[in-house]
Structure formats: structure tokens, C-alpha cells
Amino acid sequence: MRVLGIETSCDETGVAVYDTDAGLLAHALYSQIALHAEYGGVVPELASRDHVRKLLPLVRQTLADAGMIVDDIDGVAYTAGPGLVGALLVGAGVARALAWALDKPAVAVHHMEGHLLAPLMEGDPGSRPQPPFVALLVSGGHTQLVGVEAIGRYRLLGETLDDAAGEAFDKTAKMMGLPYPGGPQLAALAGQGRAGLHKFPRPMTNRPGLDFSFSGLKTQVLLAWRDSDQSEQTRADIARAFEEAVVDTLSIKCERALDEAGCETLVVAGGVGANRRLRAKLEQIAERRGGRVCFPRPEFCTDNGAMIAFAGALRLQAGQHEGASVMVTPRWDMATLPAV
């Protein structure tokens, strides 16, 4: 089955074709970073309009890269939530129209399930992680620990009570004068920082439970920055201390989640999952415990069409599909998804 995947949940337009026999055939991504940079954040109306401009050309490009024409598609998958309602409607409208015109099935995909399944998309099928496992989802406004009993059977173990890890990166970077989007730049700057010059708390690790909170950490960084000489080296030193605090917090909670779930397989996905310090820390933990940790390749940590095509293919193969209505769910609990 060859599935066209469409991702338009926020500020990136992603399209891909996934073949259930041959794997990923082609994918393309357009980022709106330049569009939103002058505003210091995503402007929903501008994001929606840009998806309208870019989506169909990307579909044509991706099909051409896969050596296919539109009639070769066996099904269409699209992100139906969570996300910005206008942006979601663009992708859903195009997907439903294509499916109707081709008389093919279409399936709505949960954006976070797409991220969760991304590490299972590539590689030797025999080496891919199989449920049950624990998933750390650190994408955009989401930081969650999820117990995965089977594809489509998810149990929320813990989540952020305020800022997500990615939001904390972006907001901290903005506080220290880094341009939008600041999170990746802050992580790069942390590599130039000196260890041990600043010490920030590891939020909520001194109490039981698997929830997260990063707003207080962000405040501690702000105070340290305001009271410093604000030199470039100091900026790098604070960035390193902040990154270490976030990485340690995520790692401590992941270990607790593995203990609670009684398993030794951890899957990590989402934009922060590309962070090198986090990857190294979690790999050390997995090695010490005799388990394994699995990541998608970095380009599939951020939003992309490939993860939507893959997740959609699994559900279409299971006989799941949508009606003719164009519907999206900007707020969508992943625990409500049907099993595959």
C-alpha cells in the first residue's frame, strides 16, 4: 500500500509517500521559519495561508521524486490534530479532496502518534522496537511520557504542568537575546559553554511522580542572566547549565517511567529528541540498565510528512479510514485513539 502523508499542524508543510512493502519512497518539507522570524513566533493566520501556497506544489514534487503519479496512491493520511485549527484544515481539506477525487481511503492521524511511531519507520523490521515500551515525546508544546502497550493503546504516565521542554528552550533563548527560533541556537551555544559555572534546579525530581515543570527553571535562568555581565561567554555558560538541567530532568523521569512500566525499551521522538546531549545521556542510561533507546534520525524529529504517512499506513492497513467530512481536532487526547 502506497500512502501519501500530509502534515500541516503548525509552521512546517510536510509531504511524503510511504510504501508498506518498500518503505519511505520520498519526502519533502517546507519550513516557515523565515516567515515568522520577524514576529518572534508563529502567527497562525500567516501559517495557514502559507500552507495553502506551498502544499500542492510539495505534493507534486514528492510524487515526482517517488516516480509516481497521483493515481498511483492507494490512500491518503493527514494530520487532524493537535495543532493550529486553520493550519490543520488546510491539510485536511487537500487530503480529503484528493481521496474523494481518486476514490481512495483517507485517514486522520494524531500528530503525536506520528512522532511516537517515527522511530519505528526505518531500519530492519526485525530490529525496530516492539511494544510494550515507554515513549518520551518532546515536541513543540508537548512533553509527555507514554506507556505504549500496543500501536494505538497508549497510557499517559506523565506530562508537563506548564512549559514544555521545547518551549522552555525557545523562551530561554529569547530572554537571552537569541533570534527566533531560539531553541536550536541555544543548544548549539551550549556546546561552547563551560561546565559547572552555573547550577540550576532539576524541577520536580525531588518528589515522586512523572510530571514535568520547566517554568521555574526558566525564571532561574532569567535571574542568572540579568545578574551577569551578559558577555558571549557567559551566555554560552548559562546555556550549557540550562541544557544540562533540562536533559537531567528528562533523563531522571525516563528512568522512573521505565521502572514503573517494568520494561527496558525507551523510544524518544519530537524536536528536542534531536538534542545531542539528551541522546548521549539516554544512551548511557540504556547501556547501564542493559536496555535500549531508539530515536528517529534527526530530520524526522521535527514535524514531517513521513511520520504521518507511516502512521496512516498502519491504520489504513488495519481497515481504518474517515468519512467524507473535513474534520480536525485541535485538542486531541491520544488515549482516545482506537487500537490498530
Cell of 92: 485536511
User: Any binding-site annotation on 170?
Assistant: yes
First to last CA, the chain: 16
Q: Per the annotation, does 251 bind a ligand?
A: no
Q: Is 141 labeled as ligand-binding?
A: yes
User: Which residues are 143's β-sheet partners?
Assistant: 138
Q: Please indicate if the annotation marks 81 as binding a ligand.
A: no
HSE (side-chain half, CA atoms, 13 Å) at 20: 14
- State yes or no: 303 annotated in a binding site: yes
| 138 annotated as ligand-binding | yes
**Residue 304 among known ligand-binding residues:** no
Decide: 239 and 190 in contact? Cβ < 8 Å: yes
DSSP codes, 62-98? HHHHTT--GGG--EEEEEEESS-HHHHHHHHHHHHHH
How buried is residue 92: exposed, middle or buried, by Cβ count under 10 Å (0-12/13-18/19+)?
buried
| 241: Cα within 13 Å, side-chain hemisphere | 21
CA distances (Å), origin 300, targets 28, 30, 168, 273, 295: 11, 13, 21, 10, 9
Q: Binding site annotation covers 5?
A: no
HSE at residue 159, side-chain half, CA atoms within 13 A, is 13
C-alpha cell at 71: 493515481
Task: Please give the order of strands across the beta sheet that includes 75-81.
Answer: 23-31, 12-19, 2-7, 75-81, 106-110
Annotated binding site for Fe cation: 111, 115, 303
Annotated binding site: 111, 115, 137-141, 170, 183, 275, 303
Annotated binding site for substrate: 137-141, 170, 183, 275
